[in-house]
Amino acid sequence: MKQRSTIRQLLQVPVIVAALGYFVDIYDLLLFSIVRVDSLRSLGVGDSGLLGDGVYLINMQMGGLFLGGILWGILGDKRGRISVLFGSILIYSLSNLANGFVTSVHQYAVLRFIAGIGLAGELGVGITLVAEILPREIRGYGTSLVAGVGMMGAVLAYNVAEHFDWRVTYFIGGGLGLLLLIMRVRVFESGIFNNVKEKTVTRGDFLQLFTSAPQFSKYLRCILIGIPVWFVAGILMTFSPEIGAALHLDNPIVAGKAVMWEYVGLVIGDISSGIISQYFRSRKKVVLLYILLATVLVTVYLFVPLGTDTMFYLVCTGLGIAAGYWALFVTIAAEQFGTNMRATVATTAPNFVRGSIILMTPLFLLFKDQFGILYGAGLVGLLAIGTALLGLWKMEETFGRDLDFVEITSSGAVRENASNVGHASTIGKK
């Protein structure tokens, strides 16, 4: 009976919508990387311009993610989780439908920027909603379910791109998002957020995160622990063909295939990390375990003579499993902060982690020229893992934390139970 009750709570409509929303989000987020060459050639770009125009479009999408992360996070705390969840789905769905009609690189760039804005809101707000509506005892299962289902969107994107024209792949992504909006009829808002909404307390103040050293330090730690995840995706998978060539494998490595197998691993990792965190009743211990596993597998990936492309793709899957604490990372960010700042943190943190690739890529190119591609990637990995361990150090354990509290800035952060928050004059510091 207890198990049936747990499953029933996990399969609430908001949890299902958040999971499917992230599924479509990941499909659309990775789709350009998968169809980049075919789409640009179709638009008349020659071989010499594929890399430059590809970087330009990726940077436009990343710029949208940066801006959208801040925008949706603030709106999520000011307007509510549900409105942001479906607002973001609507924007990236319409944008991706429009991507199927582009006739120039500049049109493509504008639409990738708009799509980036929409894509930025799904994960953080979805995890926030799920964390607030589920009982604390099963919260980890719910957030892992969202991420596990979501990561499968990458597998769908790869397989759809293998069988359909690139324009059709965008139509499919946009159509899936619009179909998802139909489910919004039965989705309800977080009760914790509704409680805070009626109180006199500042919500969604992004600058509040930088007003005191303890507040900023806590926020920075939330970002740092996610860096290795994007190192694996942004460096090791993106440059997998070059790394495979340096390892003298028996067959050339296809980046899209490496990404697909990594995301298969991410599905396993995100589900297993949530289950393990529930078993050990700890977020920090499990994140540490997965970072250490990633350290071992990065070493194998770069420096062990694997010999065959099959073994290489197998290690890609293993790296995906090790990097599969993504949902746990966003859950920690959501649990660290009060209801009035929770969506802001949970939405901006993963997008800032994604943005860290802007720093890692030039470092990788610099180290590659100095030490070769394998050692160059290894040095960047050492920095990524080192910063994550630094972020994890002294981070508060959040497993089982009651999320019904708010953050109030008055010479620093103050934690106050939301049910006790009334007029500003009644709030004191603790």
**CA atoms of 54 and 45, how far apart (whole Å):** 10
Instruction: Give domain status of residue 45, yes or no.
Output: yes
| 69 and 165 in a common domain | yes
| 210 and 157 in a common domain | no
| 157 and 100 in a common domain | yes
| 261 and 117 in a common domain | no
pLDDT tens over the chain, length 430 residues: 455 477 777 878 788 888 888 898 889 888 888 888 889 989 998 888 877 788 788 888 888 988 998 999 898 888 888 888 888 889 999 999 999 999 999 999 999 999 999 998 888 888 888 888 888 888 888 888 888 888 889 889 988 988 999 999 999 999 998 988 876 656 666 667 667 666 667 776 888 888 888 889 999 999 999 999 999 988 898 888 889 999 999 899 988 889 889 999 999 999 999 889 989 999 999 999 999 999 999 999 999 988 899 999 999 999 999 999 998 999 999 899 988 888 899 999 998 998 888 888 889 889 988 999 999 999 999 999 999 999 999 899 988 888 877 876 544 444 555 545 443 333 333 3
| 233 and 116 in a common domain | no
| 308 and 387 in a common domain | yes
Q: Is 284 exposed, middle or buried (0-12, 13-18, 19+ CB in 10 A)?
A: buried
| 301 and 241 in a common domain | yes
What is the total count of domains within the chain? 2
Domain that holds residue 97: 11-186
| 233 and 336 in a common domain | yes
- Provide the token pair at 424: 């500003």
Q: Is 110 exposed, middle or buried (0-12, 13-18, 19+ CB in 10 A)?
A: middle
Instruction: Give domain status of residue 416, yes or no.
Output: no
DSSP bridge partners of 407: 415
Give this prediction's pTM.
0.84
Instruction: Give domain status of residue 421, yes or no.
Output: no
- The enclosing domain of 287 has a CATH number of 1.20.1250.20
**CA atoms of 370 and 390, how far apart (whole Å):** 26
| 26 and 163 in a common domain | yes
**CA atoms of 92 and 378, how far apart (whole Å):** 35
Instruction: Give domain status of residue 414, yes or no.
Output: no
